[in-house]
Amino acid sequence: MELLGYIKLGFSVALLPNNLFACFIGVLSGTLIGVLPGVGPAAAIALLLPVTFYLEPTSAIIMLAGIYYGAMYGGSTTSILVNIPGEAASVVTTLDGYQMARKGRAGAALGMCAFASFIAGSLSIVGLMLVAPPLADMSLAFGPPELFALIFCGLAILIYLASGSMLKATMMAALGFFLGTVGVDFITGTPRFTFGNLTLENGIGMVPAVMGLFGISEVLNNIEKPESREIFKAAIKNLLPTRQDWKRALWPIIRGTPLGFFLGILPGGGAVISSFASYALEKRISKHPEKFGTGAIEGVAGPEAANNAATGGAFIPLMVLGIPSNPVMALVLGALIIHGIQPGPMFMSQSPELFWGVVTSMYIGNAMLLVLNLPLIGMWVRLLKVPYSVMFPLILLFCLIGSYSVNNNYQEIIVMILFGVLGYLMRKFKYEAAPLVFALVLSSLIENAMRQSLLMSDGSFTIFFTRPISLIFMIIGLALFLLPMLPFIKRKPLASEDDEL
Each residue's pLDDT tens digit, 122-143? 888 888 888 888 877 776 677 8
From 34, 46, 36, select the one nearest 398 (Cα to Cα): 46
| Per-residue confidence (pLDDT) for residue 239, from 0 to 100 | 67
CA distance 10 to 16: 10
| CB contact at 8 A, 39 and 386 | no
User: Read out DSSP for 229-245?
Assistant: -----S-----SPPHHH
What is the DSSP code (8-state) at residue 495? P
Residues 346-374 as b or e (16 or more Cβ within 10 Å = b): ebbeebeebbbbbbbbbbbbbebbbebbe
| Per-residue confidence (pLDDT) for residue 39, from 0 to 100 | 64
Give, in order, the Cα–Cα distances in Å from 301 to each of 97, 252, 254: 9, 6, 10
| Per-residue confidence (pLDDT) for residue 240, from 0 to 100 | 75
- Number of other CB atoms surrounding residue 461 within 10 Å: 11
User: What is the biggest distance separating any 2 CA atoms in the chain, rounded to whole angstroms?
Assistant: 72
176 three-state secondary structure: helix
CA distance 273 to 259: 10
The one-letter code for the residue type at 321 is L
Instruction: For residue 384, name the pLDDT band (cuts at 50, 70, 90).
Output: low
183, containing H or E segment: strand 183-184
- Which is more confidently placed, 24 or 371? 24
> Please, what is the average pLDDT of the chain?
80
Mean pLDDT score, 289-315: 85
Q: Is the pLDDT of residue 500 over 50?
A: no
Give, in order, the Cα–Cα distances in Å from 462 to each of 148, 210, 331, 466, 471: 13, 35, 33, 6, 10
Q: Is the pLDDT of residue 266 over 50?
A: yes
| CB contact at 8 A, 242 and 266 | no
Q: Which domain holds residue 441?
A: 2-500
Which of 32-46, 182-196, 229-243 is most confident? 182-196
Mean pLDDT score, 289-293: 82
Half-sphere exposure of 156 (CA within 13 A, CB side): 18
| CB contact at 8 A, 317 and 324 | yes
The one-letter code for the residue type at 161 is L
What is the DSSP code (8-state) at residue 225? S
Q: Is the pLDDT of residue 498 over 60?
A: no
* Cβ neighbourhood burial of 328 (10 Å; 0-12, 13-18, 19+): buried
Give, in order, the Cα–Cα distances in Å from 48 to each of 64, 74, 408: 8, 17, 16
| Per-residue confidence (pLDDT) for residue 252, from 0 to 100 | 92
- Which is more confidently placed, 292 or 406? 292
From 115, 118, 97, 114, select the one nearest 106 (Cα to Cα): 97
Predicted confidence (pLDDT) per residue in 206-255, tens digit? 778 877 887 788 778 777 766 555 555 545 556 677 888 888 889 999 99
CA distance 304 to 325: 19
- Whether this prediction's pTM lies above 0.75 is answered by no
> How many domains does the chain fold into?
1
How remote is the C-alpha of 347 from its chain's centroid? 20
Tell me the angle at which helices 106-139 and 243-265 cross, rounded to the nearest 10 degrees: 30
| CB contact at 8 A, 148 and 470 | yes
| Per-residue confidence (pLDDT) for residue 24, from 0 to 100 | 93
| CB contact at 8 A, 212 and 42 | no
What is the DSSP code (8-state) at residue 264? H
Predicted confidence (pLDDT) per residue in 457-495, tens digit? 988 899 999 998 899 989 988 988 887 766 555 555 544
CA distance 165 to 432: 9
| Per-residue confidence (pLDDT) for residue 497, from 0 to 100 | 43
Give, in order, the Cα–Cα distances in Å from 367 to each of 115, 258, 457: 10, 20, 51
| Per-residue confidence (pLDDT) for residue 255, from 0 to 100 | 92
Looking at the DSSP bridge assignments, the partners of residue 192 are: 183
287 CB contacts (<8 Å, ≥6 apart)? none
The one-letter code for the residue type at 453 is S
347 CB contacts (<8 Å, ≥6 apart)? 136, 319, 320, 322, 341, 355
Predicted confidence (pLDDT) per residue in 44-90, tens digit? 777 777 778 788 889 989 998 888 888 777 777 777 776 666 566 67
From 352, 312, 320, select the one nearest 57 (Cα to Cα): 352
- Number of other CB atoms surrounding residue 142 within 10 Å: 20
Mean pLDDT score, 365-384: 75
| CB contact at 8 A, 438 and 176 | yes
Give, in order, the Cα–Cα distances in Å from 72 to each of 28, 34, 222, 428: 12, 7, 21, 26
CA distance 338 to 207: 10
What is the DSSP code (8-state) at residue 387? -
CA distance 323 to 192: 25
Predicted confidence (pLDDT) per residue in 422-470, tens digit? 989 988 888 877 788 778 877 887 888 899 999 899 888 999 999 988 9
